[in-house]
Amino acid sequence: MNKTKKAIIMSAAGCCLMVLALAIQYPVISKTVEKLPREASPPPNYRAAYHFTTPDKWKNDPQRPLYLDGKYHYYYLYNRDYPKGNGTEWRQATSVDLVHWTDEGVAIPKYTNRNGDPWSGSVVVDQAGTAGFGKGALVAIVTQPSADGGKQEQYLWYSTNRGKTFRSYSNVPVLPNPGTRDFRDPKVIWDDRSHKWIMALAEGTKIGFYESANLKNWHYTGGFDTGDNGIVECPELYVLRADDGTRKWVLGASANGQASGNPSTYAYWTGNFNGREFNPDHPEPQWLDHGFDWYGGVTFEDGSSSDKTGHRFALAWMNNWAYADNTPTLREGFNGMDSIVRRIELKRSGVDTYRLVSKPINALNQKVVATDVFERIDVTGSYTLPVQGDSYQIEADISWSDITNAGFRLRESTGKSRHADVGVYVKGGYTYVSRALTGHPDKSGTRLESRASFDPGRKNIHLNILVDKLSVEVFVDDGSVVFSNVIFPDWKDRGITLYSDGGTAIFRNVVIKHFK
């Protein structure tokens, strides 16, 4: 039932007449689509409401999903023996909308040949049957630790039952290790221009490129030095058409930018790929996420769209190797969650400069069970909303004339002492997500607040925030800045407070969508 009510909107106490005046001046509208179920004493439950999680045990790296027979096939690294045993295998889930998933079981099992367990790689549909397994066969190129001293080498697995299960082609690698320690995570695409398969491979601080006519015989064509960004993993190469019509190749990889003051998430470069080598527009990478927990990211085509270069989808493992085994979900028998699937586009942002922008996919609206709307709230100090939750999306426009800091305190405790903060520190020139005052996975205490630069001369910002049981994902303005962070709030902490320091901030169009 829809209802409209007048509300008091001010952050500090005042006389009754002033309160009444402000309430009339700035009405707040609360719309409830459907009443949420009420529980007197809900038990602790850390299973995400709308994020993909492993059914049990352990998951880490996502493998690039592919669209086949009207649904997305998503493979990920899974360890059925966690936490006592090691080794990963490829488990599969399918989805028609990238929000609701069906578990399909293990597709590539571990320790079934002498080369041990399958690590990350990629799977393609061999439409022309170039590999000799028939037209439309699925071919996966996968890293395995070779029986020859545990060297990282690339092996071929294939499926003739539409990806349900895969068979090992040979115990001999299709791409042997040339003598380097790090040689893994092959990502394969078909290049229409040269009519050949192209592979991007992580080789320490370099990304190597290889070509093949049949997915079995690979030849090195060139490499790209990723600079001062640590060991790179899970590289990928793809084409996007920017908003000005320019087609750009994008080279991405999970990297560690801490040495240069950057995130340890997904670094990317725009440029040109000539079929053999990649030439970047600029030597320094940009970052698809500025949080602590967006690693092993993959992008993939929109299978239901005829436009394959106008946009892509992306997701990543929401964890960090610095604290990968620290999570309260272990008491429920699992450890492993992904970010939401986001839509990414390429936009021109300067002379010969392009950047990826992200936004949540619209299919998330299927999960919405209730909506609250607040038209305007003037905040000097803080104002606690008459709304609570642990799984929701909140959007707002914030403007000001002169403030120091403004934003949201999320998953706030009754006593206000515990909360995760999302906001903009105007005087410091950055946006941020802080988990310092709530539970979090980093026992070292060094990864508490993630930041990204913000023009201190601006007077407004748009925040799109997704909160789930153990996570916060923030899309700033047009989505050129995104934060993905894991948090461990007390399960009873459900409050939402608006705050502004050093002046008054105006929060407009505050929309909270509660997820089932």
Enzyme catalytic residues: 61
Q: What one-character DSSP code corresponds to residue 193?
A: T
User: Which two three-digit tokens encode residue 231?
Assistant: 């060991």
Q: Under 8 Å CB-to-CB from 211, ≥6 apart: which residues?
A: 194, 196, 197, 198, 199, 218, 219, 221, 275, 276
CA distance 468 to 484: 11
| Nearest of 129, 113, 90 to residue 169 by alpha carbon | 113
Within a 10 A sphere around the Cβ of 333, how many other Cβ atoms? Answer: 11
Q: Peptide bond before 83: cis, by omega within 30 degrees of 0?
A: yes
22-46 residues labelled b (16+ CB within 10 A) or e (exposed): bbeebebebeeeeeeeeeeeeeeeb
Check the CA dihedral 60-65-71-77 and report its sign. Answer: negative
Cα within 13 Å of Cα(316), Cβ side:
31
CA distance 252 to 231: 13
Q: Are 480 and 464 in contact (CB under 8 A)?
A: no
CA distance 429 to 511: 26
User: Which two three-digit tokens encode residue 318?
Assistant: 């929401």
Q: Residue 173, SS3?
A: coil
CA distance 72 to 67: 4
